Structure 1
Amino acid sequence: MGMAGYTVALMMIGVIISPCLYGKEFSDHQEIKVQRLLKRLNKHALISIKSEDGDIIDCVPIHSQPAFDHPLLKNHTIQMRPSFIPESTSTYTKKKINATQVWNKNGRCPINTVPIRRIKKEDILRSKSIENFGKKTMTPGILLYGSSSVLEDDPSIGHEYAVMNAMNGLYFGTQFSVNIWKPQVQVRNEFSLAQTWLSSGAGTALNTIEAGLQVYPGKYGDNNVRLFVYWTADGYQRTGCYNTDCPGFVQRSSLVTVGGAYTTVSEYNGNQYELSMLIWKDSGNWWLRIGEELVGYWPGELFNSIGSGATRALWGGEIINAKTGGQHTATDMGSGHFADEGFGKASFFRSLMTVDGSNTLREAQGLYPQITNSNCYNVKAGDAGTTWGVYFFYGGPGLNARCP
């Protein structure tokens, strides 16, 4: 979700996994720990679907999914459907997009089961440590800044952003459409993502709810663009994870799974594809809808400060810059082209809306850009008064003559 600080050396209690784990130094003790984790995360499936992208999707009984291993969810009653869906005050026409995940080509999960992407041994071995599998490793700098438009001295070294930020009230959700691209990632320990953050609190009291699209070979083992979710209730310390890599997020849909890959991607000067996302608070839980599909929710029991609403909403792109060879990464953000190039060339977020205290969707207000280095990646607000509502372009190629 995208902000794992893989460029920073991690000193953690427990076993540190390095490339030697693929060799002889991978001990029997470590093997036992990996197998225990796999057994805990991979639940018994009624059927399993082999996807052409290499994923295995397990169709798990809804009450047996990983979420309910969380101690705070032992007595949780599954919310099968939200009690309401926020209404919009906007007059523009919503465009329906049908982007299906790759695994859907080979089957569907039976009724009363949910699709869970199976965790494999090699997924864990690509992680920095067994204990922190699926977790981000530090607080993203973007969540530590106020209204500064330029992000300097980012404590999450190696992370770069081009985002739009809103901090003018309480937010109970957001809706937007994000352009689907497949950015090129230079090395395995880098990623490129497009996402939204809803956050409140600070330091170890920071709560976040995150969702978007990412290319992250160090996590998934490939360069596919994937749907992801993330959460934390303590500033990325001990709580939270990506997708269903730990107990927390409740999968509800039988068609769309978190961590699933898409093959319908936009082309430069060609067809443009997008994904509509809606996050909103309902009955204490935070629901996620992709297009018209109710994917699942973050249970309210997981959080503390964000229960009263998010104080900050952000949308945009993030990459990791590993500075391979001593120069800036050539990893793309978005389409790999600067925001100034506009539609069909640069990536975009459009129809940005936030959910207010009356559960109404309203066009996002008071947005301001935040950029790490505009010579590498940038963002440009769109014109007002269009059928796209509030929108912006963002992205860039990374390494270039002005970004050495």
Structure 2
Amino acid sequence: MAPAARTRVCLVALVVALAFLFLLDGGVHAASSAAEQRRRQVRSLLRRLNKPAVATIESPDGDTIDCVDISKQPAFDHPSLKNHTIQMMPSCHPQQGGLYNKSNDVAHSALTQTWHQNGKCPENTVPIRRTREEDVLDIVQRYGRKKWPSSWSNDPNRYDDDVPDAASVLRGHQHAIASAPGDDNYYGTQATFNLWEPTVERNQGFSLAQLWITSGSYANNDLNTIEAGWQVYPGLYKDSHTRLFVYWTRDAYNKTGCYNLICSGFVQTSNQIAIGASNSYFSPVSIYGGSQYDITILVWKDPKQGNWWLQVGGQDLGYWPSSIFSKLSGSAASVDWGGEVASSPDAGQTSTQMGSGHFPDEGFSKASYIKNIQLVDSTNSLKSASGVKLTAKWPMCYNVQNGTSADWGTYIFYGGPGKNPNCP
């Protein structure tokens, strides 16, 4: 059993044991014993999650950043990576043919790292936010995994009537996305994402904009995904800032996969960016009817090593090793771009905003966009995505529109306010 799986089993067993002890005795002694057992379990888990640090930086915002030896980062807890040789840089980048003109109306954002005010991580280390005891409670509940699948467009059967509780699942996660034609092999994608800070109704909900690179299916429980983008997720990050995130799974979100570096898998190579840390957020973000900001994200399969690399704002941050996947060990069958919101499936319609919180027909500076949407082909060249398919199951809540232009290439506007008089 993988370390992440063992940790989840341990945590679940802990929660069950604590509840049983408390209900059985109902007394001070039982509560005291349970509390002590919890402390021991928490300390054990934190020792696993927080790798030994070469250097430690206290961030002004209260976070502790551990500079961990690059060869001892969480990725290498994965059983497939025990003898993995780190690829320090990609063998090459996709050929940038056919890029479009930059608009003078948009500023290109960068990752703001608050902890840099107090230092930087040395070479051959990676910055990782130290996990705290209060974070462990969230790990117990979610272990960094999405509760419901994301790339709905890749499996049309996901909407069939025989899907258990399909209506509540749909209300739990809603999407407005564009998908590449499903008749080709893909080796990556690049797109420029408009940055916003949408309002999220509940702590356990989130709002995001991302790309999905996928292969496999839900039906066979072998859906492989690579995901990257920005999100607002108060329950995970303890605030409402817009943050970079990464995610992956190889079994349709059943047992594998997690956000950022919470579990093994993603190999970080950059010593500059703490992915998902509470001080790594996009700033500034766009203003309705005012200044617009965006950032470009590129994911591509290294043609020599076969690993899937991530570049954000021109910086290579790391990669997903091909060995952690089954279907994505080769090419991808589908690529998607767009927005997603999540809330409790039994909470009814959510007022969580997607994108800017406004519908796509409002256009530039008011609706959120993803532009210069490109695909990486088998020659490691970028080409404009054409013939995209749009999916918005609740268009009166969240919708998506597409178009092409000389400046923006293939683009979409997407989003919406969620709950409103026309949204069921």
Which of 69, 72, 93 is the matching residue for 1:61? 69
- The question of 1:386 aligning with 2:389 is answered no
Q: Distance in 2 between matches of 1:385 and 1:144?
A: 27
**Who is 2:421 aligned against?**
401
**Who is 1:8 aligned against?**
none
**Who is 1:374 aligned against?**
395
1:298-344 Cα distance to aligned partner (Å, 9 max, x none): 011101111221101000110013378x6521111011111111111
Q: Distance in 2 between matches of 1:197 and 1:143?
A: 10
Counterpart of 1:89, as a letter, is: G
1:228-285 Cα distance to aligned partner (Å, 9 max, x none): 1111111112222111101111111122221032232111111111111010011111
Question: Post-superposition shift, 1:91?
Answer: 4.4
Q: Distance in 1 between matches of 2:140 and 2:49?
A: 18
Equivalences, count: 387
Counterpart of 1:274, as a letter, is: D
Taking every aligned residue pair, what percent have the same amino acid on both sides? 45
**Who is 2:204 aligned against?**
189
Tell me, yes or no, if the aligned pair for 1:150 and 1:370 is still in contact at 8 Å.
Answer: no
Q: Distance in 1 between matches of 2:167 and 2:87?
A: 39
Q: Kindly tell me: are residues 146 and 328 of structure 1, through their superposed partners in 2, closer, same or farther at Cα, counting changes over 3 Å?
A: closer
Tell me, yes or no, if the aligned pair for 2:367 and 2:414 is still in contact at 8 Å.
Answer: yes
Tell me, yes or no, if the aligned pair for 2:204 and 2:343 is still in contact at 8 Å.
Answer: no
Q: Kindly tell me: are residues 249 and 321 of structure 1, through their superposed partners in 2, closer, same or farther at Cα, counting changes over 3 Å?
A: same
**Who is 1:319 aligned against?**
341
**Who is 1:140 aligned against?**
150
Which of 249, 258, 267 is the matching residue for 1:241? 258
Which of 163, 174, 197 is the matching residue for 1:160? 174
Q: Out of 37-46 and 192-201, give the one that drifted further.
A: 37-46
Unaligned runs of 5+ in 2: 1-10, 20-30
Q: Out of 96-105 and 288-297, give the one that drifted further.
A: 96-105
TM-score, structure 1 as length reference: 0.88
Q: Distance in 2 between matches of 1:62 and 1:181?
A: 32
**Who is 2:138 aligned against?**
126
- The question of 1:349 aligning with 2:359 is answered no
Three-state SS of the structure 2 residue aligned to 1:125 is helix
Tell me, yes or no, if the aligned pair for 1:123 and 1:221 is still in contact at 8 Å.
Answer: no
Which of 174, 191, 206 is the matching residue for 1:176? 191
What does 1:265-284 correspond to in 2, within 5 Å?
Answer: 265-282=285-302, 283-284=305-306
Which of 15, 36, 43 is the matching residue for 1:28? 36
- The question of 1:108 aligning with 2:114 is answered no
Q: Distance in 2 between matches of 1:292 and 1:163?
A: 24
Counterpart of 1:172, as a letter, is: Y
Three-state SS of the structure 1 residue aligned to 2:211 is strand
Q: Kindly tell me: are residues 161 and 113 of structure 1, through their superposed partners in 2, closer, same or farther at Cα, counting changes over 3 Å?
A: same
Tell me, yes or no, if the aligned pair for 2:78 and 2:264 is still in contact at 8 Å.
Answer: yes
Q: Distance in 2 between matches of 1:155 and 1:356?
A: 38
Q: Distance in 1 between matches of 2:140 and 2:349?
A: 23
Three-state SS of the structure 2 residue aligned to 1:14 is helix
Structure 1 or 2: larger helix share?
2
Q: Distance in 2 between matches of 1:322 and 1:240?
A: 20
Three-state SS of the structure 2 residue aligned to 1:306 is helix
Tell me, yes or no, if the aligned pair for 1:43 and 1:64 is still in contact at 8 Å.
Answer: yes
Q: Kindly tell me: are residues 28 and 82 of structure 1, through their superposed partners in 2, closer, same or farther at Cα, counting changes over 3 Å?
A: same
CA RMSD of aligned residues (A): 2.8
Q: Distance in 2 between matches of 1:395 and 1:93?
A: 25
Three-state SS of the structure 1 residue aligned to 2:71 is helix
Question: Post-superposition shift, 1:389?
Answer: 0.7
Tell me, yes or no, if the aligned pair for 2:55 and 2:66 is still in contact at 8 Å.
Answer: yes
TM-score, structure 2 as length reference: 0.84
Q: Distance in 2 between matches of 1:149 and 1:360?
A: 34
Which of 193, 213, 229 is the matching residue for 1:212? 229
Q: Distance in 1 between matches of 2:85 and 2:47?
A: 24
Tell me, yes or no, if the aligned pair for 2:169 and 2:345 is still in contact at 8 Å.
Answer: no
Tell me, yes or no, if the aligned pair for 1:267 and 1:344 is still in contact at 8 Å.
Answer: yes
Bigger Rg over Cα: 2
Question: Post-superposition shift, 1:126?
Answer: 2.5
Q: Distance in 2 between matches of 1:197 and 1:226?
A: 17
Question: Post-superposition shift, 1:386?
Answer: 2.2
**Who is 1:4 aligned against?**
none
Q: Distance in 2 between matches of 1:347 and 1:402?
A: 20
Unaligned runs of 5+ in 1: 1-11
Counterpart of 2:306, as a letter, is: G
